[in-house]
Amino acid sequence: MGHFLRALLVYSCQAPKCTKEVLDHHLKCFGEGNLDGILADYSSDAVLFLPTGPLKGTDAIKPVFQAMFSEFAKPGASFAMHQQYVEGDYAYILWNAETADSCYDAATDTFVLRNGRIEAQSFAAKITPKR
């Protein structure tokens, strides 16, 4: 019995992260401005769908998060999560935020994961510049 439990523990530790774990890590890294942590959640050929068009691969996705981290690091930024759903390999969040530069209303992200990594994500929001 001891060998079985040990084998089960080794298997579970090597298994890909579940969607909820990846989403929680992603949100934690976003809140901390942790660029390396955010990018580690994506597969190397992940696609991020934006209203301006798709970005493919972490090298193309990186500047989006660099810009967002810069904006959200300014004093007075706030973030409110309104909905968070996980179903199998899919996750959805609905949120609002306000920064010194912009208001983000009805912001949504949808994630598709495979093997513990984000393969595809869509983002859309009503972004109102303050200037």
pLDDT exceeds 70 at position 11: no
The partner residues of 42 in beta bridges, in order of sequence, read 118
pLDDT > 90 fraction of the chain, expressed in percent and rounded: 86
pLDDT of residue 56: 98
For the entire predicted model, the pTM comes to 0.85
Q: Which of 3-7, 61-65, 118-122, 126-130 has the lowest mean pLDDT?
A: 3-7
pLDDT of residue 17: 77
pLDDT of residue 82: 96
- How large is the average pLDDT for residues 97-118? 96
Q: What domains, with CATH codes, occur in the chain?
A: 17-129 (3.10.450.50)
- How large is the average pLDDT for residues 11-19? 57
**What is the maximum span of the chain, computed from C-alpha positions, in angstroms?**
66
Q: For the segment 33-84, what is each residue's pLDDT rounded down to a tens digit? A: 999 999 999 999 999 999 999 999 999 999 999 999 999 999 999 999 999 9
